[in-house]
Amino acid sequence: MKHVPAVLYFAALVMQGVRVHAQEYNKLIIHAGDSISHHYSYLFPDFQNAAVEFRDGRSFTYKMNFNLVLCDMQFINKKGDTLAITNGEDIDSIGMDSSSWVYDYQKGYFQIVAAAGPWKLAVYRRTTFEPVQNGGMGESRQSGGVEMINAVSGRQGTLPLVLNQDIFVVRKTSYWLIYYKIGDMESAGKTAFMKLYGGDKKSFDQFVKANKINFNVQGDLEKLFQFCTQSKN
């Protein structure tokens, strides 16, 4: 199986990207008669050795990668098949590449990209599938409902394998500060970072200005997280 790097995938297919506070939207179209599986892309160029820790104390190593279209973790079994994890609620953490992952039963996977004691900076990715309706002058627009077809298993339930209509695939990437546990979190905006910092507003604002911190850029948020937690280690 050939895995297309995420950067190349979205450079080729993104129709629209909208950045808002501490999150970003990406949108692409998959046409009727095509299969969602033909457009799979992954966070890492190849499946990585991942250490999986279960809540009951068991641990295993699998070849894993994060599917950016389904926004779900996948692994390669002994037969060489690529499968989705179906018991994510039993997983305590996944260590893969230079980051770790935690699972929330209601939301899915959070990628931990920086940590200091109980504080963590996390990336959360979520995908929705929405049918396309043709508007005036032939342009495409989104409709309200979802009427989809055939079946590949994903976090959102049954998803179409082969489509009978054009669909938008809309992915939202958002950034979160987790304080002590997965349920204790806040959107990683300026207010949340200032709270994490706990110092004077002037020095905080000076750092943000001097480093041109963009709250929609992961690298900038990692730099700001390090600044805010340097005295907490």
Interval 15-65: pLDDT, tens: 333 344 556 777 888 888 888 888 889 999 999 999 999 989 999 898 999
Decide if 181 is inside a domain: yes
Can you name the residues that pair with 124 across neighbouring β-strands?
110, 174
Query: Quick check: is 61 in a domain?
Result: yes
Helices (H), the chain: 6-13, 190-197, 201-210, 218-229
Is the residue at 224 inside a domain? no
In a domain, 14, yes or no: yes
- Pick the more confident residue, 90 or 98: 90
The reply to whether 212 falls in a domain is no
- Range of the structural domain that residue 181 is part of: 6-189
Residue 233 lies in a domain: no
pTM of the model: 0.76
Distance between CA atoms of 21 and 189, rounded to whole angstroms? 7
* Overall number of domains in the chain: 1
* 59-90 confidence digits (pLDDT tens): 989 899 999 988 889 999 888 888 888 888 88
